A and B are shown apart, each in its own frame.
Chain A
């Protein structure tokens, strides 16, 4: 029997919520994507929390919040400790996205779901792979091979292929078949007949105008606004689609020698572009080619200014174009700028992607747009006077508590450390130990700072050391730490890729401005006020999401024609629509599971392996057909020494078999072929008329490959004539007869 495969959505089915799915392949649990929304709604993670500890590996597909936002929280709070796999850009840009999210949130609220350290420690476990790298999973998942493939949409975006025993499970969400400025299209089309395909219905009901037309409208809208002395705000993601937008603007500005300033404003803007510059391998052929020939890095931006705080922006007078994160307008610079600019009719807010559900961006995209919206304006201001005193007192109290807690913890860990080391994942233990000593302790760690960093002085009440770390010091000898090799064997693979401790890895990655923000430990508080903003500026939505549109998705699915199809992520209507479509045109097994509904997509294929004996193979004549070679065999089953089946030549004469005609006939191609042979051909009434009397007709739709009728029927009709036999010969030439 085939490999057993179960799919259980944890979030993001029948709606546009973040993506998170559990896929078990022969008992090995993959968590594919670990997304969160811009509201950081913990209720969405309920299903994940129930299964987090059973996850054996995490695969990430795109570097945005919807695909990986919950990773730090899940690692810290939900007991997720599995190794994580992603491509290099997903790793880097995902990290930057999380930094930006955190810093944006931190500005406006007492954000405490995760800290920068949590982000770092979650990302340091990521094993980075390149496209079409076959990674053999060791240990429990022996025999499973995972490989990322280009998905388009975002830089480093991944279609995951999980292979076991020759059966492919493919996870492809948010792919884009079209080639863009900075990305190649997805390679999804090169996969044929996977056992299971998991894909999204997000765009099933959307169709896009042509790229050229859309680009022109986009640039026209922007130019019209700035020429009329207005400002343009493009709410964008941190490090995803924004790269494409920047390239569009940059190229257009270059071509037309425009001088209107463009700003790219996120907390990590300069890092984002720095990394983009070094990811040319992952980008489109044209970008790679231009670099190879002229060494012009497309992301060496001449017209776009990178900003990491908006004070710079205020200094610039006159019309300007600002690309600012977050796309949802819920937080971040885009939020502030929107509030400031909304009241001016000259300004334009140009959305390039559909806002997440129930966000400000989504509200503004509704038709007709609201006249006024309520927003919460929040600012972080330093504490003064009484508040400061109260804060300090509070801090002191916390410090005391923390001390006690540390001591208690210390005792506990002393007791359990030995056991943990031998039983648990050593990486996890290490992370736990090093985490508190990590120097970039943020605001949350303010309380611990003195204890952990300055606090090498033993506190008065303590009788022992403070760091659980000391435990290890006893086990050091001249050659370093004495380690039990067995503890490490399991993780050898992972260590190869990330052997350098992540502490250097993540330090220094932030822009100075952000760094100052993190290290800024001045006691501060968040002041919020409700405000009503009258939306007078123009609002515009254009689809720059870089996802295949509904029509393309359908034809791609028909081409890939999986044996079983699982639909996720998309509004209820879109999911239902695509499901019905696929049932009719793609395959008979289409599933659209509900949240936490585990469906079994184990293929009902039967298969067994046989050895082909040399004797048999020497008599087989293959015929070549495209990538395939094909032959008819009649063989007798034998047994080899090691008990497997082998196929031997028949000892008795070969029985006759029904002739098989192999080949795929497209009527249009056939028409051309016949025309080239000097036969008069034309289509008439659904049939191909050849010459005067003979007609050719095709019955049974060949697109419906997965359907019951896989065999195409061609009917050749005509009176007895020379022409009839001539056309028959031409027709036969299209097939291989076996």
Chain B
């Protein structure tokens, strides 16, 4: 939230905790909870761009109350604007809601006033001041039930200005009865940067919120009700509290007036008296005649139809979601907007509470190939291989060597050196290795002149001392495997040291091996499928729940009427065979 909102948030909620009359158990939150929440709240200044997990967002002035903001959220290039409560009309202290520089893809917009139109501001203000002026000059009292924050400050500015220009009114006091008000003033006096230029320039000479004709009023006990006066009191709905006490006192006098300055919630007394009933119920349960004049002059800083439609026409968002408004009013607004955007492909959605709206945007993922990989422009059909690095919603493709240049990541190499006890000749090792690996090259170590072997272009074997060999390699999965096999080989060699190995022996071994392998294959198949028998011409017959499959051990072909079984047996055999049969040397 913005700085001003955060300061006001604390004030409003602390005040709520203080005045709420419910028992401690029923309390939804207490002062401590508020303080804890304060630590969680991050502040954002208007236009400041923040980024969380690659999602960027910033806010614009909304013009509803001090600190009010409209948020623009940018997710991988798809922009969503949420207006919240906004007003496109500049007033005495607030700026009008800004028109975002970019058109959003989705615009979530309030529809509080639906298709209604506001009176022009100067007419409204004139009506307001005229009503007050005529009431007080005829000896009446004026009650303005208002919320503690927001419009109250604007009305006070209007009244103070009006009183300043009408010296005849100076003897009539204006009271502002809200315990919050004084505390809020500090916020208003500090966050002037969220206000419009006009009032900021006034701050340079005198503080416009330092009212000359308006006095604070703490409670009704302090109030000396002797003659005409103007009282602005909370709460705005006349539910209880000071505004209600005064209303009860004044409602039956014909000379008095009540000015309701803005939106009132359904079900409150303020909403009831707008329709000017003959009688009202007082707090003490009695009924009284409603003789005082009731005026409804809306200073509500919500956009009306004119503002909403112009705003949307300027932005031309392809998707509009209407929120915050009475269902009927919203429906009317939707119809009217549909006729405005009849030609385009604008979608207007009015979801109900808890109904989620899903929209899919196909955005092209673009990557930037940088560094060594990009030295040459590629042509169609060529291969690009490299690291794809994603940060937020940006992609870059680069060579591994460039990783540290373009990101804060770095690559590493692990060079391993392991020493193995071995006291025989290097030639023996070489001979053995040659049987396993194709590439075994002898060379000399440049520094020490010790003979070395380079195996598979990866691992170097070197005599370290009389009793030790050492292996050097740079870690990666294949080299690790090669080195492991060398280690095993060296260990084996040193164990069967004196024995010389004859070539033919390996042939014999191969025969034995194949027999062994056959046994293993059979055993494994049994463990997998249960009923496995040797059939004709060396085939294996597998019987599973009446389904029969025949397996050719040489080719791996499977015959079966049951397709599922056939596939399973085939797969199982392939796996078994690859485990049992030795890897063909160097793929040749």
Q: Do A and B bind each other?
A: yes
Q: Are A710 and B412 in contact (CB under 8 A)?
A: no
Among B140-148, B363-371, B502-510, the stretch that binds chain A is B363-371
- Which residues of chain A (494-510) have a CB below 8 Å from chain B? 499-500, 504-505, 507-509
B419 and A720 within 8 A (CB): yes
Instruction: Give per-residue flags for B304-315: 1 if the beta carbon is below 8 A from chain A beta carbons, else 0.
Output: 000000000000
Question: Is there an interface contact between A628 and B418, defined as CB atoms closer than 8 Å?
Answer: no
Looking at the assembled complex, report how far the CB atom of A705 sits from the nearest CB atom of chain B, in whole angstroms.
6
- Interchain CB contact under 8 A, A735 and B412: yes
Do B191 and A280 touch across chains, with their CB atoms under 8 A apart?
A: yes
Q: How far is the CA of A716 from the CA of B419 in the complex (A)?
A: 11
The CA-CA distance from A67 to B147 in the complex, in Å, is 46
Give the distance in Å from the alpha carbon of A635 to the alpha carbon of B395 in the complex: 15
Closest B residue, CB atoms, query A166 = B368
> A234-254: which have CB < 8 Å to B?
none
Which residues of B are found within 8 Å of A629, using beta-carbon distances?
Answer: 389-391
State A509–B205 Cα separation when bound (angstroms).
Answer: 7
Among A131-139, A256-264, A356-364, A380-388, the one that faces the other chain is: A131-139
Q: Which B residues are CB-close (under 8 A) to A705? A: 404, 410
Residues on B with C-beta less than 8 A from A193 are 405-408
The residues of B that contact A668 with a CB separation of less than 8 Å are none
Which of B195-203, B220-228, B516-524, B536-544 touches A?
B195-203
* B193:A278 contact, CB within 8 angstroms: yes
Are A663 and B387 in contact, with the CB atoms below 8 A?
Answer: no
Q: Is the CB of A605 within 8 A of B410?
A: no
Give B320-378 interface residues, CB cut-off 8 Å to A.
364-372, 374-375, 377-378
Say whether A274 faces chain B, with CB atoms less than 8 Å apart.
yes
B414 within 8 A of A: yes
Give the chain B neighbours of A611 by CB distance below 8 A: 364-367
In this assembly, does A662 line the interface, its C-beta being within 8 Å of a C-beta of chain B? yes
Partner of A716, one of B6, B192, B370, B417: B417
A634 touching B383 in the complex, CB below 8 Å, given contacts A606-B371, A710-B404: yes
- B439 sits at the interface (CB 8 A): no
Q: Write the B31-46 contact mask toward A (1 if CB under 8 angstroms, else 0).
A: 0000100100001011
Contact partner, A292, options B10, B378, B389, Cβ 8 Å: B10
| Smallest CB gap from A503: residue in B | B201
Are B387 and A660 in contact, with the CB atoms below 8 A? yes
Min C-beta distance of B1 to chain A, whole Å? 11
B224 CB, nearest partner CB in chain A, Å:
29
- Interface residue? A273 (CB, 8 A): no
Q: Which residues of A contact B371 (CB under 8 A)?
A: 605-607
Given A132-B49, A271-B204, A508-B201, CB of A608 within 8 Å of CB of B369: yes
| Segment at the B interface, from A74-82, A403-411, A439-447, A724-732 | A724-732
State whether A617 touches B186 (Cβ < 8 A). Answer: no
From 588 to 622 in chain A, residues with beta carbon under 8 angstroms from any chain B beta carbon are: 605-612, 617, 620, 622
Q: Establish whether residues A563 and B394, one from each chain, have CB atoms under 8 Å apart when the complex forms.
A: no
| B452 CB, nearest partner CB in chain A, Å | 17
Stretch at the interface among A55-63, A324-332, A390-398, A636-644: A636-644
- CB–CB A637/B45 < 8 A: no
Which residues of chain A have C-beta atoms less than 8 A from B417's C-beta? Answer: 715-718
What residues on A are CB-neighbors of B382 within 8 Å?
Answer: 636-637
Q: In this assembly, does A664 line the interface, its C-beta being within 8 Å of a C-beta of chain B?
A: yes
Assess the B366–A710 pair: CB atoms within 8 A.
no
Instruction: Report the minimum CB–CB distance from B488 to chain A (whole Å).
Output: 11
Whether B385 and A657, one on each chain, are in contact in the complex, defined by CB atoms closer than 8 angstroms, is yes
Q: Within 8 Å CB of B186, what residues of A?
A: 295, 297
Residue on A with the closest CB to B6? A292
Which B residues are CB-close (under 8 A) to A737? 476-477
At the interface, yes or no: B265 with Cβ under 8 Å from chain A?
Answer: no
A147 touching B49, Cβ below 8 Å: yes
**Distance A609 CA – B366 CA, assembled complex (angstroms):** 7
Decide yes or no: A632 and B383 within 8 Å by CB, A608-B374, A715-B415 being known contacts. no
Interface flags for A99-133 (1: CB within 8 Å of B; 0: not) read 00000000000000000000000000000011111
Give min CB distance, B135 to chain A, whole Å.
35
Assess whether B410 is in contact with A608, with CB atoms less than 8 Å apart.
Answer: no
Instruction: Determine how close the nearest CB of chain B comes to the CB of A618; give it in whole angstroms.
Output: 11
- The prevalent SS among residues of A at the interface is mixed
Is A711 within 8 A of B412, CB to CB? yes
Interface 0/1 of A21-65, CB less than 8 Å to B: 000000000000000000000000000000000000000000000
Smallest beta-carbon distance B501→chain A, Å:
23
**Provided the pairs A280-B3, A292-B10, A631-B387 are in contact, do residues A133 and B198 lie with their beta carbons within 8 angstroms?**
no
B75 interface residue, CB < 8 Å from A? no
Asked whether A291 is an interface residue with its Cβ less than 8 Å from the other chain, the reply is yes
A288 / chain B contacts, CB cutoff of 8 Å: 3, 43
Q: Which residues of A contact B475 (CB under 8 A)?
A: 661, 716, 728, 732
Tell whether A738 is near chain B: CB-to-CB under 8 Å: yes
Q: Is B477's CB under 8 angstroms from A129's CB?
A: no
Chain A neighbourhood of B407, CB < 8 A: 192-193, 628
CA distance A147 to B45 in the complex (A): 14
Contact A712 B412 (CB under 8 A): yes
Contact-residue bracket for chain B? 35 or more
Instruction: Report the Cα distance A626→B403, complex, angstroms.
Output: 14
Q: Which residues of A contact B46 (CB under 8 A)?
A: 130
Type the 1/0 row for B176-217, where 1 means its CB is closer than 8 Å to any CB of A. Answer: 000000010011011111000110010111000000000000
Which A residues between 294 and 312 are near B, CB-CB below 8 angstroms? 295, 297
Cross-chain contact B389 with A628 (CB below 8 angstroms):
yes
Residues of chain A with a CB closer than 8 A to B389's CB: 628-630
The chain B residue with its CB closest to the CB of A277 is B190
B409 → A minimal CB distance (Å): 6
Q: Does B454 contact A (CB under 8 A)?
A: no
| Residue contact A714 to B370, C-beta cutoff 8 Å | no
Q: Are B47 and A133 in contact (CB under 8 A)?
A: yes
**CA distance in complex: A712, B395 (Å):** 24
Task: Identify B410's interface contact among A635, A662, A738, CB under 8 A.
Answer: A662
> Which A638-672 residues sit within 8 Å CB-CB of chain B?
638-639, 645, 647, 650, 655, 657-665
**Complex contacts, B275 vs chain A, CB 8 Å:** none
Residues of A within 8 A of B162 (CB): none
Contact A731 B414 (CB under 8 A): yes
Cα-based distance from A647 to B391 in the complex (angstroms):
19
The answer to whether B384 and A647 have CB atoms under 8 Å apart is yes
B404: min CB distance to chain A, Å: 4
Does A645 contact B49, Cβ atoms closer than 8 Å?
no
Q: Are A718 and B390 in contact (CB under 8 A)?
A: no
Question: Which among A612, A706, A718, A735 is the interface contact of B395 at CB below 8 angstroms?
Answer: A612
Shortest Cβ gap from B489 to chain A (Å): 13
B152 near A: Cβ within 8 Å?
Answer: no
B405 partner residues in chain A, CB cutoff 8 A: 193, 563, 706, 710
Mark contacts of B262-303 with chain A using CB atoms, 8 A cut-off: 1 yes-contact digit, 0 otherwise. Answer: 000000000000000000000000000000000000000000
Query: Are A130 and B379 also in contact (CB < 8 A) when A291-B7, A292-B38 are?
Result: no
**Within 8 Å of chain A (Cβ to Cβ): is B435?**
no
Please measure, in the bound complex, the distance between the C-alpha atom of A711 and the C-alpha atom of B474, giving whole angstroms: 13
Cα A611 to Cα B419 in complex, Å, equals 49
Name the A residues within 8 Å of B415 (CB-CB): 713-716
Q: Which residues of chain A come closer than 8 Å to B411, judged between CB atoms?
A: 660-663, 710-712
Nearest 5 CB-CB pairs, A to B? Answer: A659-B476, A133-B47, A710-B404, A500-B197, A606-B374
- Residues of chain B whose beta carbon lies under 8 Å from any beta carbon of chain A: 3, 6-7, 10, 35, 38, 43, 45-50, 58, 101, 183, 186-187, 189-193, 197-198, 201, 203-205, 364-372, 374-375, 377-392, 394-395, 397, 400-401, 403-421, 475-478, 487
Q: Give A contacts to B, CB under 8 Å.
A: 88, 129-134, 136, 147, 166, 192-193, 271, 274, 277-281, 288, 291-293, 295, 297, 499-500, 504-505, 507-509, 563, 605-612, 617, 620, 622, 625-639, 645, 647, 650, 655, 657-665, 702, 705-706, 710-720, 724, 728, 731-732, 735, 737-738
Provide a sorted-by-A list of 16 A–B residue pairs whose CB atoms are within 8 angstroms: A130-B46, A136-B101, A193-B406, A288-B3, A291-B190, A292-B10, A293-B10, A606-B371, A608-B377, A610-B366, A637-B379, A637-B382, A647-B367, A712-B412, A718-B418, A720-B419
